[in-house]
Structure 1
Amino acid sequence: MGFKQRGLTLIELLVTMAVLAIIVGIAVPSFNTMVQNQRSLALGEDLAGALNFARSESVKRGARITLCGTTNGSECNGGWTDSWIVVVDTATTDDAAAPVVANADAVLRFWEAPDNNAALTATQGGNAITFVRFTRKGMLGRSSSGDVTMNASFEGCGSNSARVITVGVAGLLNMSRSTTGCS
């Protein structure tokens, strides 16, 4: 009866480890890009959901409703990469330069701040804005400045995975893909 070998030799083990290292080295960067692409998509969807919520509340309540960035959860005092709130806006006109939050009860919903690698920008008429206001009829406030365009992406996303959300003067949202913000 002869001796039967069981297990792997050292050479076989080293070759297997080298092949595994090459496969992992190729897969990990692609996986990271895929994760950032999905995070960009989710960020764009969250922002679109917040805008849709604000618009629907403006029609339901028959009042000015504003989506804005916040640092403390009760005032419109932050940027888009901070937390967001939807508030009942008691500004005197639809074209007022800043939202007015009467008290803490005026805050309708709160969204946690996105990750530090998030990039969010909003412009209206070529100027950066810090809030989006809807009139009591669900139309865009400050509409004389034109549509609002918001870009949402995460650092490291690839190709056209960033999201552009356009809020038209009538208050309707359109979301599309973009390369802005992706590397």
Structure 2
Amino acid sequence: MSAGRVTRNSGLTLIELLVTMAVAIILATIAVPSYFELRQQQQLSASTNDVLSMVLAARREAVSKRLDGVEVTLGADKGWPISIVRDGSAIYERAASHPSIEIALASGGELIFNRFGRTGGEVSICISRAGDVHREISILLSGQVRNLRDELENCDD
């Protein structure tokens, strides 16, 4: 070291550290609500897919085995478990993947497929979170299944 030469230590000053922490906190306050909303949407989508797969499995069961009276039933706990019933006994059953999601048949209808995969009339299944309807699965008389996202027709509170 020679006289008159100043050496500088590399590192962060307290001000730089505080500014960095403030930016991180601001980003976290923006990101956390978006994350929770995304998580709720994912849970709703997963539950909708669970219900949709059970409806399609019931229709497939009726058509492939040429059976009349294959029914999709909803349980007592917010509509869960959802079951496929043939001859009075459940052949498939799916429990709730997310306990905050509720499912219900619109207008108290029933969903029964005949050997051709048709129903006795149009039936809608409402899928909601905390009482707000978010999704509707509509099963037409022909047995065609539609997943309605934005155009809720039969699921009014």
TM-score normalised according to structure 2 size: 0.81
The separation in 2 between residues aligned to 1:109 and 1:35, in whole angstroms, is 28
1:173 to 132, 145, 150: 145
1:162 corresponding residue in structure 2: 134
Computing the radius of gyration over CA atoms, which structure comes out larger, 1 or 2?
A: 2
Q: Let me know the Cα RMSD of the aligned residues.
A: 2.5
Q: Secondary structure at the match of 1:5?
A: coil
Q: How many aligned residue pairs are there? A: 148
Is residue 162–residue 179 contact of structure 1 (8 Å, CA) maintained in 2?
no
For structure 2, the 5+ residue unaligned runs are none
The separation in 1 between residues aligned to 2:141 and 2:99, in whole angstroms, is 31
> Does 2:156 correspond to 1:152?
no
Q: Relative to structure 1, is the Cα distance of residues 155 and 26 closer, same or farther in structure 2, using a 3 angstrom cutoff?
A: farther
- Cα offsets for 1:71-124 (capped at 9, x unmatched): xxxxxxx35532122121x3xxxxxxxxxx2xxxx432121223222132221x
The separation in 1 between residues aligned to 2:137 and 2:97, in whole angstroms, is 17
> Does 2:69 correspond to 1:69?
no
TM-score normalised according to structure 1 size: 0.70
For structure 1, the 5+ residue unaligned runs are 71-77, 91-100
- Identical counterparts, % of pairs: 27
The separation in 1 between residues aligned to 2:138 and 2:113, in whole angstroms, is 14
1:81 corresponding residue in structure 2: 79
- Cα offsets for 1:1-59 (capped at 9, x unmatched): 43222221222111111111011101111111112112222221221111000001011
